Amino acid sequence: MGRTVVELFYDVISPYSWLGFEVLCRYQHIWNIDLRLRPGFLGGIMQKTGNKPPAMLPKRAEYLLKDIRRMAKYYQVPVSITGDDFQRIFQTSSLAAMRFITAIDMTQSQYLEPLSREFWIRFWSQHEDISQPENILTVAQQAGLSSELSQKALEMISSPKVKDRLKETTDEAIKYGAFGMPAVVAHYNGEPHLFFGSDRLELLGSVIGEKWLGPAPS
């Protein structure tokens, strides 16, 4: 049998996206899958589907704090979250970051995985800004990109080509049925199977005929 294509639609503003990203990056070397990272814009999905951030509901925000901490420990991903982070998310736009990641995906895709990871680390482990150009360049440097390549990608984020690519990816996720991120789409038996969130990866394995070996398989 051929390899199952698994697409991960994500935004670095989403801590659950980071959890799903890290586990799928581990399993791409274990399961018979072709993992395709699809950077999108969570704000666009929320707006177009009429969804609202769960943290806007006090009781749900209270639960999310516990849930993300538990999942971070279980999946062994250094997400660090406090109640203050919800306000920080509401005040931060990931649009420039996701356009920058998209520009790199279009030009130097070998950096897509480490670059995305560094954005999550900066925002969710170090609690630092990812919206300003100077901070984006710092993240790129940490991911191993040269100054020349980083500057070129930064200039590209205002181009119609990059803006359209990010919008198209976001719209594609919505067409699959996504209403938030992460959205995982497995193409199996001739049809797409959508899984929302980072807590459905065991079920994903079951659907595509792969065995779940835990959050950090060796």
Residues with a catalytic annotation lie at: 14
* C-alpha torsion angle, residues 141, 143, 146, 149 (rounded to 10): -110
Asked if 116 and 122 touch (Cβ cutoff 8 Å), the reply is no
Residues 80, 10, 142: CA angle, nearest 5 degrees: 60
- Partner residues linked to 192 by β-bridges: 187
Residues 70, 71, 73: CA angle, nearest 5 degrees: 70
Query: In terms of C-beta density within 10 A (0-12 exposed, 13-18 middle, 19 or more buried), how is residue 132 classed?
Result: exposed
Asked if 23 and 33 touch (Cβ cutoff 8 Å), the reply is no
Asked if 129 and 135 touch (Cβ cutoff 8 Å), the reply is yes
Asked if 201 and 193 touch (Cβ cutoff 8 Å), the reply is no
d(CA 122, CA 142): 10
Tokens of residue 183, six digits? 């959205």
d(CA 88, CA 92): 6
